[in-house]
Amino acid sequence: MSTQTSELLAAAAPRTVDVVRGISDDQLDLPTPCQDYVVRDLLNHLFQVVVNFQELAGKRQVEWAEKPDHLGDGWRDRFEVETGRLVAAWSDPSTLEGVSPGMGMPQPVIGGMALLDLTVHGWDLAVATGQPYRPAPEAVAELHGLVEQLGPTARKMGVFADPTPTPTDLTPDLTPDLAHLLTKTGRLPTWPQTP
């Protein structure tokens, strides 16, 4: 990534935090663009990403099999706190050196994966709950190369679906750059918002 990972995370994080803060309790069982996840599931997944990628910044092992429920009292505030810790964890330039012992990929790729989840799942949650969402343009621009790099393996593992066509009828919140990124992860940028 040509821009420091922590700078990109710092630009992306508040936008996703705003979406999370805007989710009401009665929206937790709504569907999302991630087929297997309702809003509650996706929030728990994103919480796990934000917490685990703090550890991965320090080149420590993480546990993905455990699926704790993060949506107890004060979960919106805790998400903001943990996201701030994620940004701080990647602020040391040494986090980008070497290969992740837990993931077996270069550390810059690991940092990019955190940015990708924060950005794309921010969109997923926004459209699922009928909120506006404009991701950090600099983050979206940087993520295209990462998605190209990870795409073949991610599709084999079921993390990405097959690419979808980029629509021409874009809403004001959906820039061509974001729409193209979403289609490369197998999402439909015109996914209907919940009324």
Q: Quick one: tokens of 152?
A: 């073949």
Task: State the average pLDDT over residues 128-147.
Answer: 94
| Statement: residue 194 has pLDDT above 70 | no
Global pTM? Answer: 0.92
**Biggest CA pair distance of the chain:** 46
- H/E stretch holding 20 reads helix 5-21
Neighbours of 123 (CB within 10 A): 28
Q: Quick one: tokens of 165?
A: 């066509």
- Which residues are within 8 A (CB) of 82 and not within 5 positions of it... i.e. 6 or more apart? 47, 50, 51, 54
**How high is the pLDDT of residue 156?**
79
Rounded-to-integer distance, Cα 37 and Cα 154, Å: 18
Rounded to 10 deg, the angle between the 39-57 and 75-89 helix axes is 30
Q: 101 and 59 in contact (C-beta within 8 Å)?
A: yes
Could you identify the residue written with the tokens 């995370």?
A: 9
| Statement: residue 20 has pLDDT above 90 | yes
Q: DSSP letter at 168?
A: S
Instruction: Tell me the β-bridge partners of 41.
Output: none
pLDDT one-digit tens code per residue, 87-101: 999 999 999 999 998
Split at pLDDT 50, 70, 90, the class of 3 is: low
Split at pLDDT 50, 70, 90, the class of 76 is: very high
